[in-house]
Amino acid sequence: MKASSVIPVTDPEKISLDDLLVEVEAARGEDPEAALARLEDADEELQQRPEARLLASDLTWETSGAESARPRLEELVRDVPDYADARHLLGCIYDELGQESAKVEQFLEVLRLDEGLDPMLDVDDPRAVEDVIVEAAEGAVAALPEAFRERLTDVPILVEPRPSEELVREGFDPRALGLFEGPTHAEREQGDAAQAAETTRIVLYSANLASESLDEDQLRTEVATTVWHEVGHYFGLDEDELTRMGLD
């Protein structure tokens, strides 16, 4: 007689870190407090892993506010100073708390660390990635209503690896996917001489876009969304208006 198969029940204390993080993230959408509790009930060794501590800090921010999450992240950054994700989240928390100099300090470290681990360095042909970004950006502009396309003919869309150190020192997020800078369409229409002399442009950050994308299809989606978002800034459109136009 053949023995029946028995499906082993996974010991919750033997769960892998990756499985734990996936489980917690899945629970987060419905009940972030329960997700945090699940993380804090996990095996102590797993709780102390940097990735788990980062997620716990993020959930603490979501459930209890920036001030509650701040000491968790500060301790994590002290323990793992080269953990760029932790520094970035801490910088975002400082931003919410209005601590500008502390935010910039963290963001500059993120820029330095990210440049050292640039995802495009692992790509066989970084130029090919940039070509995909340019092609996707052109497609995103082509998808705009004609009236908008016509008013963008003199607004260049540029591709750069990452935000400059100068921008980050001004408080700009080093992991931003794109940037709109210069006078808006309305300001240019007003004909102010000083504003007319300024250059309006949209910049896409190729390394940041690549790091947010698992494959070429996702990269194209990220590029299109970023282009439409920055175009929205140029025309003074909010997220709801972009959504109504199908550009979200």
Could you tell me which residues are beta bridge partners of residue 157? 202
Q: How far apart are CA 248 and CA 246, in angstroms?
A: 6
What's the predicted TM-score (pTM) here? 0.85
Q: How far apart are CA 178 and CA 133, in angstroms?
A: 12
Going along the chain from its start, the domains and CATH numbers come out as 16-116 (1.25.40.10), 120-244 (3.30.2010.20)
Residue 209 amino acid letter: L
For 122, what's the count of Cα atoms within 13 Å in the CB-facing half-sphere? 8
Give yes or no for residue 196 having a pLDDT over 60: no
**For residues 54 and 74, is the Cβ–Cβ distance under 8 A?**
no
Render pLDDT for 45-94 as a digit per residue (tens, 0 to 9). Answer: 999 999 999 999 999 999 999 999 999 999 999 999 999 999 999 999 99
DSSP state, residue 124: S
DSSP state, residue 83: -
Question: Helix or strand or coil: residue 196?
Answer: helix
